[in-house]
Structure 1
Amino acid sequence: MNVEFRPAQRSDAREIARLFQITSEGASDYIWSQLAEPGQDLLDVGAIRYAREGVDFSYLNCLIAEAQGRVIGMMHSYAMRHDPTATLTTDPVLAPYADMEIPDTLYISSLALHDGWRGQGLGVRFLQHAQARANELGLDGLSLIDYAENIGARRFYERQGFSIVKSCQITPHPMIRVTGEAYLMHRP
């Protein structure tokens, strides 16, 4: 089946949020719960977040994979830059990730495919697009965070030239679906 890769559009924001929920193992829901109004659906919060412009977490930083007119996957990435004025979060769930960054890389915050589309080489194609974007922006490779429990994803990234450069302990929370360690991975 023919799969087309295209830049995301604002109208994709809800599907981007839905796919982000797949890869974040509950972290997106946790973050969105902190932003939600009482009774507001978390997916609605995510969709609003990705419909924005001028911020890292925007549809403008997403690449969509589409087959037969349906979104089947997406990759969200942005240039990770050192910001000396940034304040570190004190949120106990998010604080361990505060220094899990490699400046001047293209940070892949999400690469997700719907069930039935995995194992078909689409992840490799997404990474090829990411590398081309990193080269275009003059960045030093790709970086991402993966969870130790997600052995299949880690093996995939290692086969694609990524290596673990740092780890942190995941803070347990009822909304977070993984435990153990999170790995910062880099491919120069």
Structure 2
Amino acid sequence: MTITIRQAQPQDAFAVVPLIIEAIGAIANRLTGEQTDEAVERELTILFKREDNRHSYLNTFVAIEDEEILGILVYYNGKQAIQMDANLVQWLEAKNAPSIVIDKEAHEDEYYIDTVCVTPASRGKGIGTLLLQYAEQLTQERGGQKLSLNVETEKINARRLYERIGYVIIEPWSIIDEPFHHMVKQL
């Protein structure tokens, strides 16, 4: 198995958007201002193809084998998230979305792993770990010293995995009024 990781491209939306939705669940509804599965996927595809928000292809990396996308990483700088989220709020306001509050997910001095998701058929093959390692590499290349992520408090196995690879719970966090652990790895 030869897996490579590359920057996502707009045409990857068909494979990437469903994985983002699977990973973030109800957050996708808030980010798109939509309620039906069809509408959420349609609007998230629009966001993915744009260049000015957290779920843009510019912030997404794909793990591929033989041109098939096996997993995704959505990753960005916490400081850049402020402007990206302001852009998202403007987009939501322009379409008269019912919810325009975008929860902060990272501190400004952190690089942030927003989303990691692997296709069901590819799970258990270490692809998620490769994507996490890639985020560490990118952070170091970009001069960052902290890499963070949020994990839902009830996802104990995920939290243990992150702790095994060096993440530490720094503080409680809330996203859409749901409890998370904010975890940071010093690089």
| Distance of 2:101 and 2:144 partners within structure 1 | 26
Give distance in 1, aligned partners of 2:135 and 2:36: 37
What does the per-residue CA deviation read over 1:5-51, in whole Å, with 9 as the maximum and x for residues that have no partner? 1111110123222111111132113321x1x5999621010011010
**RMSD of aligned C-alpha atoms?**
3.0
Q: Hey, what's the Cα distance between the residues in 2 that align with 1:184 and 1:155?
A: 13
User: 2:56 is matched with which residue?
Assistant: 58
Contact 1:16 1:74 in 2 (8 A): yes
- Using the aligned pairs only, state the percent identity: 25
1:124-169 Cα distance to aligned partner (Å, 9 max, x none): 2112211111112111221111101222221211111111111135
Normalising by structure 1, we get a TM-score of: 0.78
Per the alignment, residue 45 of structure 1 pairs with 43
| Structure 2 length-normalised TM | 0.79
Q: 1:9 to 1:156 in 2, by over 3 A?
A: same
Aligned to 2:30: 30
Q: Which has the higher helix share?
A: 2
Aligned residues: 174
Do the aligned partners of 1:13 and 1:51 also contact (CA within 8 Å) in 2?
Answer: yes
> Partner residue of 2:172?
167
CA contact (8 A) 1:75 1:111 kept: yes
Matched, 1:187 2:158: no
User: SS of the counterpart of 2:17?
Assistant: helix
Out of 151, 160, 163, the residue aligned to residue 158 of structure 1 is: 163
> Following the alignment from structure 1 to structure 2, what is the Cα–Cα distance between the partners of residues 14 and 183?
31
Equivalent residue of 1:72, what SS?
Answer: strand
**Could you tell me how far apart the structure 2 residues matched to 1:93 and 1:147 are?**
22
Using the TM superposition, give the Cα deviation of residue 181 of structure 1 relative to its aligned residue in structure 2, in angstroms.
2.0
- Runs of 4+ aligned structure 1 residues displaced above 3 Å come to 36-40, 91-95, 168-172
1:120, distance to aligned residue in structure 2 (A): 1.8
The question of whether the paired residues in 2 share the 8 Å contact of 1:166 and 1:183 is answered with yes
In 2, distance between residues paired with 1:171 and 1:55? Answer: 18
CA contact (8 A) 1:148 1:181 kept: yes
